[in-house]
């Protein structure tokens, strides 16, 4: 088995919907970025790549590639999952923490977990997501953006 960690942060912007964990969250500012800004999926992708020692999201999907502008991060995640499968790795579990002053994450946790499990084609219960505020401190506390931390465990596929 191997473990990997991932981190991502994005600035809020009012001109697009908020997409987190592959789920559109209504009544909240979106996240700026070259892709759809889905920091949950980006941190998870880096944790998966880290666990398998396959590089990073920035190496695989550089923001200098125009065809990735506005990309659906769900597509990036499934591409990475396929890469891990090819290399003989299977997800055991992943634990993700979203640090945001707003919106509240908890009401959307279940939808995000089920969407990610569906994208990765793993059973329910393999993905955990927790929301925290930053107690009003710093750039997160001022509502300038949000940050995500992820840990993923992968194992060698037996057959």
Query: Which residues are near Mg ion by CB under 5 A?
Result: 8, 42
Contacts of 111 (CB under 8 A, 6+ apart): 21, 23
Q: Shortest Cβ distance from residue 80 to Mg ion (Å)?
A: 13
Q: Shortest Cβ distance from residue 58 to Mg ion (Å)?
A: 9
Q: Which is nearer to Mg ion, 63 or 124 (CB)?
A: 63
Q: Shortest Cβ distance from residue 57 to Mg ion (Å)?
A: 7
Cβ distance 1 to 154 under 8 Å?
A: yes
Q: Which is nearer to Mg ion, 13 or 90 (CB)?
A: 13
Q: Shortest Cβ distance from residue 35 to Mg ion (Å)?
A: 7
> Residue of minimal CB distance from Mg ion?
42
Q: Shortest Cβ distance from residue 14 to Mg ion (Å)?
A: 18
Q: Which is nearer to Mg ion, 42 or 115 (CB)?
A: 42
Q: Which is nearer to Mg ion, 1 or 59 (CB)?
A: 59
Q: Which is nearer to Mg ion, 34 or 90 (CB)?
A: 34
- Residues 115-121: contacts with CB under 8 Å, at least 24 apart: 115/21, 115/22, 115/23, 115/74, 116/21, 116/22, 116/40, 116/41, 116/44, 116/77, 119/22, 119/74, 119/77, 119/78, 119/81, 120/77, 120/78, 120/81, 120/91, 121/81
Residues 64 and 83: their CA atoms lie apart, in Å, by 21
Residues 117 and 111: their CA atoms lie apart, in Å, by 10
């Amino acid at each position: 088995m191997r473990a990997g960690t991932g981190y991502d942060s994005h600035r809020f912007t009012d001109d697009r919907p908020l997409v987190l964990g592959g789920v559109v969250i209504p009544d909240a500012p979106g996240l700026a970025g070259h892709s759809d800004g889905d920091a949950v999926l980006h941190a998870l992708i880096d944790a998966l790549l880290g666990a398998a020692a396959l590089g990073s999201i920035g190496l695989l999907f550089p923001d200098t590639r125009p065809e990735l502008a506005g990309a659906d991060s769900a597509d990036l995640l499934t591409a990475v999952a396929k890469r891990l499968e090819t290399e003989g790795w299977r997800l055991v579990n992943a634990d993700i923490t979203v640090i945001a002053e707003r919106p509240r994450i908890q009401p959307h946790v279940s939808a995000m977990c089920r969407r990610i499990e569906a994208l990765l084609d793993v059973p329910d219960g393999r993905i955990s997501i927790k929301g925290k505020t930053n107690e009003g401190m710093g750039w997160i506390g001022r509502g300038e953006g949000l940050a995500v931390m992820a840990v993923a465990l992968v194992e060698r596929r037996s057959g």
